[in-house]
Amino acid sequence: MGTDTDTARGAATAALIETPVVERVLAAALAGGAEFAEVFAEDRRGTSASLDDGRIEELASGRDRGAGVRVVVGETTGYAHTADLSERGLLAAAEAAAAVARLGEGGTKVVALEPQVVPRHGTVEVLPEDVAKAKKIELLTRADESARSAGSAVSQVSANYADSRRRVLVANSDGVLVDDDQVRSRFFVTCVALGDTGMQTGFESQAFTVGFEMFDSVDVEEVATTAARRALTKLSARPAPSGELAVVLKAGSGGILFHEACGHGLEADHIVKDTSVYVGKVGTQVASPLVTLVDDGTVSREWGTFAIDDEGRPARRNVLIENGELTDYMWDFLRARKEGRVSSGNGRRQSYRHLPMVRMTNTFLLNGAEDPDEIVAQTPYGVYVAQLGGGQVNITTGDFVFGTSEAYLIEDGRITEPLRDANLIGNGPEILRRIDAVAGDFGMVPGTCGKDGQSVPVGCGQPTLRVSAITVGGTAGA
C-alpha cells in the first residue's frame, strides 16, 4: 500500500488495543502454566446493498468489534472471545481461556512485545466507508438497466454490492505484535431469462482486495450484460452429453475445481488427521508434469490476499505441487510448531469469535506454453466449460462433483452449441494426472470458502487447460 495510507491505517489498527494492555492480558493468560497464549483483536465494518426486480431491497451498514484469547497447554486449547475491548473485558477472556486449558503447576511469564512491520500487497485509494451510499446504489441501478437491455427474455435481475474493512491486531507470547488493514469490494449480478425451455440463470461477479476505486476498472454494465448473456444463451442450449469426455476449462473459473478437489486435501489439519488422499505423498508424482499448483496470499488485489494471516504470520507464496510432484502442504502456526516447521501463512479465521485453522488464500495453477485456441482445435469432441458453479468433494478419497453454469459442445475442434447445466464427476488426484494441455492465458476468480462452519474469502485460478477425460453427467447420450 502507499506510504501515507499505510502509516495512517497502521496507527489506527494498532490503537485497537494499547501495547501495555496486550502485554498484561498475555501475562494473565500464561499465569496458570500455559506454554502459549495469543490475542486476536478485530474491528470490522461494512456496507451491503441489493437490488431485486428493479427495487432496492436492502441497504445495510454494520460494525463488529471484539477479541479472542487462545491459551495452549500441551494438547489442550482454551479459547474465549469478547466484544469488550477494555482491559477488564480482555482479562476476563484470558482467564476464561486459561481455565479451559490450565494444566501444570502455574507460574508467571512476562511477555515483551515488539511491533513488527510487514509488507502490504496492494494499494487502497478510496476507502468505501468514505463513499456516499447513493453512489453505491447508482451502481446497482446501472447494472439493472444494462442487464434488462440485453434481451426481452430477461425476466429478473438481482444486483449486489458489498464492501468491508477489517482491521486486525495479533499478539502472542512469542513476542509477535503485528496488525493489518484489509479492504475488500465486491459486485455481482444474477439474471433469470424465461423462454420455451423454462427459466435459465446466469451470474457474474467481480471482487478484489481494493477500495471503491475498483469501479474505475470494473464496468458494472459489462458485469450485468455478461450475467444476462449467460442466462439468455442457455435458453437455446441442448442437453449436455453424458459419459467420459475430454473437458477444456476456460481460464479462471475452473480454478474452483482445483481449490476444492485438490487444495483442501493439502491442508495440514487433514494430513495430521490422516483424512487426506495426499497423506505421505510429499516427493512423489501426484499430477501431470504440466501442473504446478501454488497457494499465494501475496498476489496484489486478489480476493484472498492479505499482509498477515489470522495468527500474525506474513502471507507467503507456497508451491504445493511443482511439475507434478507434491512439494509441501499448507500449515497454520500451531500445527507447524508441533512438527518443528514454520507456518506457511495459512492460519485463517472467519472472525474473532472463531479459532484459526488451516485455510487456502489464492490457489491456482501456473501458466503453460500452449495457445488456448489451439487446445480447443486439438480436441475432436468434448465439453468447453466457461464457468463452473458449486460443488463438493470427499477429502479422504478425492472424489468430487461440480456443476457447470456455462458450457458448450466441442465438435471437430470447434466450440459449437451451448449446453444445459451438467455435472463434472471425478477424482482430484486422477484429474490432476489427466491434464494434458495447459495454455498461457492465466485468470482468476473470487470465491468464498466454507470449512467447519467458517467462511473466508479466497481466490481461485488457472489458465485454459484440458483434462483428457472427466465423467460428464449430462442428460443426452455422448
pLDDT tens, per residue, the chain with 478 residues: 333 344 334 334 446 999 999 999 999 999 988 999 999 999 999 999 999 989 999 999 999 999 999 999 988 899 999 999 999 999 999 999 998 887 433 333 434 455 677 888 888 999 999 999 999 999 999 999 999 999 999 999 999 999 999 999 999 999 999 999 999 999 999 999 999 888 999 999 999 999 999 999 999 999 999 999 999 999 999 999 999 999 999 999 889 999 988 999 999 999 999 999 999 999 999 999 999 999 999 999 999 999 999 999 999 999 999 999 999 999 999 899 989 999 999 999 999 999 999 999 999 999 999 999 999 999 999 999 999 998 889 999 999 999 999 999 999 999 999 999 999 999 999 999 999 999 999 999 999 999 999 999 999 999 999 999 999 996 765 4
Distance CA 267, CA 317 (A): 15
The domain defined by 3-236 carries CATH number 3.30.2290.10: yes
What is the Cα 293 distance to its own chain's centre? 15
470 touches 401 (CB < 8 A): no
pTM of the model: 0.92
User: What pLDDT score does 381 carry?
Assistant: 98
Nearest-5° Cα angle at 414, 413 to 420: 120
Please report, for residues 17, 64, 96, 242, the alpha-carbon distance to residue 85 in angstroms, rounded to integers and kept in the order given.
7, 12, 15, 57
Distance CA 202, CA 444 (A): 19
Distance CA 315, CA 170 (A): 14
Nearest-5° Cα angle at 140, 136 to 141: 115
What residue ranges do the domains of the chain occupy? 3-236, 241-477
User: What pLDDT score does 105 carry?
Assistant: 38
Question: Which residues are registered as beta bridge partners of 326?
Answer: 321
113 touches 175 (CB < 8 A): yes
185 touches 65 (CB < 8 A): no
Please report, for residues 95, 155, 390, the alpha-carbon distance to residue 429 in angstroms, rounded to integers and kept in the order given.
46, 41, 19
Q: Please give the grid coordinates belonging to residue 379.
A: 480436441
65 touches 42 (CB < 8 A): yes
